[in-house]
């Protein structure tokens, strides 16, 4: 049905009553409940209700934000605790490595001293013989 045909046909009884009463009400200055203008103390109550609802929404939003931030703080505290434990573990490992290096340095020093002693003992008879030969050859040549 086109809109022109719908407008030209008479309304049924059920359709006509609400239409007529709404038209009469509008003619008398009355607006149906959904569109009713609110005035005076009713307007103040409506404004207070809207303000309360807005504040409740803001409180909920801030509460949610606060919970989110608290969870971030908890996570950060957990991370900090883990990092402190990891740092302590790494420091322990570093101390052990330093001790090993110190022991290795001492061992190396002892090895070097021992090698020098062995070399001295190996070279000493030769040096002694050389010195003896020099001394003997000098005394014979005089």
**pLDDT reported for residue 123:** 63
Shared domain check, 93 and 45 = yes
pLDDT digits (tens, 9 = 90+) for 71-97: 999 999 999 999 999 999 999 999 999
Question: Above 70 in pLDDT, residue 53?
Answer: yes
Domain ranges, residue 67? 39-141
Whether residue 58 is found in the same domain as residue 26: no
Stated pTM of the model:
0.39
Contact status, residue 31 vs residue 37, Cβ threshold 8 Å? yes
pLDDT bucket at 65, cuts 50 / 70 / 90: very high
- Judgement on whether residues 64 and 130 belong to the same structural domain of the protein: yes
CB 38 within 8 A of CB 46: yes
Query: Do 33 and 43 sit in the same domain of this protein?
Result: no
- Give whichever of 56-65, 98-107, 123-132 has the largest mean pLDDT: 56-65
Within a domain: 59: yes
């Amino acid at each position: 049905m086109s809109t022109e045909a719908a407008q030209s046909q008479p309304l049924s009884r059920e359709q006509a009553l609400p239409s007529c009463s709404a038209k009469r009400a509008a003619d008398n200055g009355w607006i149906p409940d959904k569109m009713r203008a609110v005035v005076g103390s009713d307007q103040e109550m409506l404004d207070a209700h809207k303000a309360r609802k807005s504040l409740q929404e803001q409180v909920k939003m801030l509460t949610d934000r606060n919970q989110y931030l608290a969870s971030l703080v908890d996570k950060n505290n957990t991370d900090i605790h883990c990092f402190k434990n990891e740092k302590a573990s790494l420091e322990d490992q570093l101390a052990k490595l330093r001790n090993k290096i110190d022991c290795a340095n001492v061992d190396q020093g002892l090895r070097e001293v021992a090698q020098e002693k062995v070399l001295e003992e190996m070279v000493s008879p030769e040096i002694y013989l050389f010195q003896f030969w020099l001394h003997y050859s000098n005394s014979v040549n005089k």
